[in-house]
Structure 1
Amino acid sequence: MTSGRSVMDGRFELLERLGSGGMGTVWRALDLVLQREVALKEVRPGGGEVPPDDAALAGMYRERVLREARALARIDHPHVVTIHHIIDSPDMPYPWLVMELVRGESLQDRLARGALTPLEAARVGRGVLAALQAAHRAGICHRDIKPGNVLLREDGSPVLTDFGIAVLEEASRVTATGGLVGSPEYIAPERLHGREGDPASDLWSLGMLLYVAVEGHNPVRRTTLAATLAAVMTAQIPAPRQAGPLAEAIGALLVPDPAARPDAALLDRMLAAAEGQPTSPSVPFPAPHPPGPGPIPSTVPAFAAPPPRRQNPALLVLAGAGAVVLVFALAFFAVQALERDEGRTVTAGPSAGTRQPEPTETSEKVVSEEGGRLPESARPTSLLTPAGIRGVITAFEKATGNDKFAAFTVYEEYAYAEVPVPGRSKATDRYLYRNGEVTKQGAGTSDEGTVNLRVFDWNVVPRLLRAADRRLNVPDPENRYLVVKPSWTFAGDKPMLLVYLNDEHGGGYLAADVKGRIEKTYPAE
């Protein structure tokens, strides 16, 4: 500091405090050399409360800030905020970051005035996606994508900010076992299970941001942190109602299996289509993995997000006030509480309430159970029949050369299957069946083993569908589908057949063994 006025590093005069939080304070400052305004972030992990005798932890924080800032300095992209300089000296506990000052408002402020149209949201989404692609190429995962970390320039273009916070806080995980960073209602479910550093986690958060942008509320926010964490882990995401052409992209992103989300290139084409921009021919994205057990109990009510607090719209900076530190213990106890409350096991899994995306149309070719072409008059009106399912199985077996499958899901008009990749313990290839034609859809992962689909008694399907209609409390379902679990933990690791019904409010399912005996029922709440 310079006597009489606050000047950092003999060059940056602090003019105005713009915001502060658990990770430090952000200032508007004047670069006295270049005569331009910049943003200075004064980093204070944990509110500056680092134990004075914990020199190792302090050194770890300091080195992580420097390493992240240097990495971000290598990202040159119009949708990523620019870092100009690092102020660092031996007498400072942590470095200060000198960054671009963005004039405009945050997406959070914009949403306080109302939801975006699907077209507006698609434009913002493409900009944020481009920023994430640049970061991911540099080996950086953002870990805290949310409206407060997206700034809108005066021309409306988005700027992604606050890259360093999550990595900086993550350093504390070395000594604070079980810590996890990020804003609870935007965090990807796999991160609550300890899987970090996957770019697909940022894409989940982008999907949730788009959902909030068009719907005006966050579907997993609850009245308490513990309940929010439980909602994220069980991934009960209702289909958006206001998304219009953006619904396909949102649905593709908000699936619990990271491998089932579209990659950045495909997602950009989907967002471009929603924006009404020319794009290359559509490529069908992988189907989400089927929902896991247990809808969220009614004791954890939905909670609409309150309007966010306004900040100074004239001067916004790269860094927000900081990320929320989540602790695995909270998630664990939240799930345990839900289990005690309802007497059921709650696990992470895709939403029974998420409307499954339809694949693209393929040629009109229909095969019989024996693999021959069926006349149009003999084609089943739905695949959810014993003959329809056996025909699908035959088609998958012939197309893949396999009789053991890692996953199998059948809807009324199409089906998905996954087969193991030889020599790879968890890798799978994903296939789509529609109109009698099998096409390869991409790669997947599975650690549930494999099963020969012929072990199931498919003659019980009509009875199971009738039972689902009676028991699952979904009077007018929008979706009906069957899921085969090769090895289901909640049934002693044996193969199970799950029958799902859902509507716009959620759904439920029942689970039966290979003979069709119903062992578990999870009705909609």
Structure 2
Amino acid sequence: MLVESRRIRDRYRLLEPIGGGAMGTVWRAQDEMLGRTVAIKELLLPHDHDEHRTEEAKNRAMREARIAARLQHSHAITVFAVLEEEDRPWLIMEYLPSKSFAVLVREEPVSVDDAIRVGAQISSALAGAHRAGIVHRDVKPANILVSEDGTAKITDFGISRAIGDVKLTATGEIAGTPAFLAPEVARGEDADFAADVFSLGATLYAAVEGQPPYGTADNPIALLYRASSGEIEPPAKAERLTPLLLRMLATDPAERPSMDEVEQELRALLPDAEPGESVLAATVPEAEPAAVPTVPATVAVPPAGEVAAVTPGARKGLIAVGAGAALLCVAVVVAILLVVRQQPPQNNAAPPATSQPPAPASVTPSTTASSSPAPSQTPPTTASPTSPPVSPVSSTKTAGQALSAYYALLPNNLPQAWNLLTDHFKASKHQTLATYEAFWSKYSRVSVSNVADNGSGQVTAHVTYVTKGGGTETDTNTFSLVQSGGVWMIDSQS
């Protein structure tokens, strides 16, 4: 059969192989139903096992792939669907014209600045995954894709380990390389969040040093032995990245920073943006750690994950904002806030209940004030004086009502919502109105629930997002609001 005529589920036409290895073949393909290019990974199952073990490996690969499909992040390759065809799993994923970080490292030396930029993006995706209870298990340069504009994305969440990669086989052979394994994993323990931290550290180490922290060896068993001991060569070229690398590569998992801390420290190390250059704001959806739920056999992910449209620095909720955007005229802002004041958000934005924890009991947007009392004092104003003056009528809102009003504007009234964010908030995220709009273009609805005023402008709320493909995502966030010109504005989010 000619490759050009090969189809999967009478929908995906395979065009050409673009990668592969022990795990299987990656194809560039055409989704003929939606008219877009996708990447399809054809997972190969082990043939040296009996029928029972092969079936077990297939089921495990399908399960891990469905878990990967739960994660939607601007720096993680999106899994659109998981199919079983020709008695093996197929992953339908977004297509990113790119090179793997492993290829880039081989082609030419990677500067410390470039390594930090890639690390900031990838750590943001891993931090989001960890908060959702997902462990990658195989972070390495080959699983990081970098496009021409510098956008980095990680792929293969859990898939390689699901079908036996980086494990000793029954014959004593190693499938995959142990060069980026955490010591505890090399000794046979299960990979956890701390193992991902080590592997990302090893990846960045290899990028700047030219070889993995355990060195190189033709004998994979010898390399595995080095990995199990945790003894590394101290970095010699990592410069300001050295202290963080050493902590990430600590032999004891308890001594390693969390992935959230890694992301924060890498962001702090990012070089100043050059004129015209966009600073990478590697931020992610903030979700509480949750157990992995049961996922349907086929997981569809929204078409909005089209790779070329992803903007570095997108973040859930309020994030994806910047200090340089032009403000709307005063009259427009006054009119919008008066409408929000007089007409609370309606329930037409309420999404269906989500099965993904931590989902709230109700995702209907809050239309009334929280039962908590309003702050007794007006908090100090920290908004920039460039924020537009607004009618004092809005000052009668509680901070919780103001937060609900903000989300009632989204995603259809982006310029108005933008003006309810302080310049301090925008500047802290290094973003622009353009990236704010690009982020919200992926969502059809958003709602808030369980809004609680904690006093002094502090508000905690559940925020539920509905993608254009029908998927739902829920975060729990704490917001800090301040008043400017009698209007509550959002100053920070955690």
* Gap runs ≥5 in structure 1: 279-314, 317-525
Distance 1:159 1:4 in 2: 28
What is residue 426 of structure 1 aligned with on the other side? Answer: none
Q: CA deviation at 1:101?
A: 1.1
Q: CA deviation at 1:212?
A: 1.0
Contact 2:177–2:220 (CA<8 Å) still a contact in 1?
Answer: no
Distance 2:166 2:98 in 1: 33
In structure 2, the CA distance between the partners of 1:40 and 1:8, relative to structure 1 (3 Å rule), is: same
* 1:136-155 deviation digits (Å, cap 9, x = unpaired): 23332222111111001232
What is residue 76 of structure 1 aligned with on the other side? Answer: 72
What is residue 231 of structure 1 aligned with on the other side? Answer: 226
In structure 2, the CA distance between the partners of 1:226 and 1:178, relative to structure 1 (3 Å rule), is: closer
What is residue 196 of structure 2 aligned with on the other side? Answer: 202
What is residue 87 of structure 2 aligned with on the other side? Answer: 93
What is residue 398 of structure 1 aligned with on the other side? Answer: none
* 1:241 to 2:241 alignment: no
Runs of 4+ in 1 over 3 A off after TM superposition: 1-4, 170-182
* 1:225-254 deviation digits (Å, cap 9, x = unpaired): 122122212333222121111011111111
Distance 1:116 1:19 in 2: 22
Contact 1:172–1:179 (CA<8 Å) still a contact in 2?
Answer: no
Distance 1:40 1:201 in 2: 27
Q: CA deviation at 1:80?
A: 0.6
Matches within 5 A, 1:2-17: 5-17=5-17
* 1:43 to 2:43 alignment: yes
Identity in percent: 37
What is residue 134 of structure 1 aligned with on the other side? Answer: 128
Distance 1:2 1:218 in 2: 41
Give 1:106's match in structure 2, choosing from 100, 104, 129. 100
Amino acid at match of 1:250: L
* Gap runs ≥5 in structure 2: 274-306, 309-494
Compute the TM-score of the two structures, normalised by the length of structure 1.
0.48
Amino acid at match of 2:82: I
Distance 2:234 2:167 in 1: 35
What is residue 222 of structure 1 aligned with on the other side? Answer: 217
Distance 1:125 1:277 in 2: 16
Matches within 5 A, 1:168-317: 168-170=162-164, 176=170, 183-220=177-214, 221-276=216-271
Which one has a bigger Cα radius of gyration?
1
In structure 2, the CA distance between the partners of 1:154 and 1:227, relative to structure 1 (3 Å rule), is: same
Distance 2:200 2:131 in 1: 17
SS in 2 for 1:87: strand
SS in 2 for 1:141: coil
Q: CA deviation at 1:215?
A: 1.3
What is residue 120 of structure 1 aligned with on the other side? Answer: 114
* 1:409-455 deviation digits (Å, cap 9, x = unpaired): xxxxxxxxxxxxxxxxxxxxxxxxxxxxxxxxxxxxxxxxxxxxxxx
Compute the TM-score of the two structures, normalised by the length of structure 2.
0.51
Distance 1:3 1:103 in 2: 21
Distance 1:4 1:246 in 2: 47
Contact 2:65–2:159 (CA<8 Å) still a contact in 1?
Answer: no
Q: CA deviation at 1:125?
A: 0.7
Distance 2:62 2:8 in 1: 17
SS in 1 for 2:77: coil
Contact 1:125–1:271 (CA<8 Å) still a contact in 2?
Answer: yes
What is residue 391 of structure 2 aligned with on the other side? Answer: none
Contact 2:127–2:263 (CA<8 Å) still a contact in 1?
Answer: no
In structure 2, the CA distance between the partners of 1:173 and 1:55, relative to structure 1 (3 Å rule), is: farther
Distance 2:5 2:234 in 1: 54
What is residue 167 of structure 1 aligned with on the other side? Answer: 161
SS in 2 for 1:123: helix
What is residue 418 of structure 2 aligned with on the other side? Answer: none
Paired residues in the alignment total 274
SS in 1 for 2:107: coil
Contact 2:68–2:157 (CA<8 Å) still a contact in 1?
Answer: yes
Distance 2:3 2:140 in 1: 39
What is residue 522 of structure 1 aligned with on the other side? Answer: none
Distance 2:248 2:82 in 1: 35
Distance 2:188 2:135 in 1: 15
Root-mean-square deviation (Å) = 3.0
Q: CA deviation at 1:27?
A: 1.1
Amino acid at match of 1:187: L
Amino acid at match of 2:19: G
Amino acid at match of 1:71: I
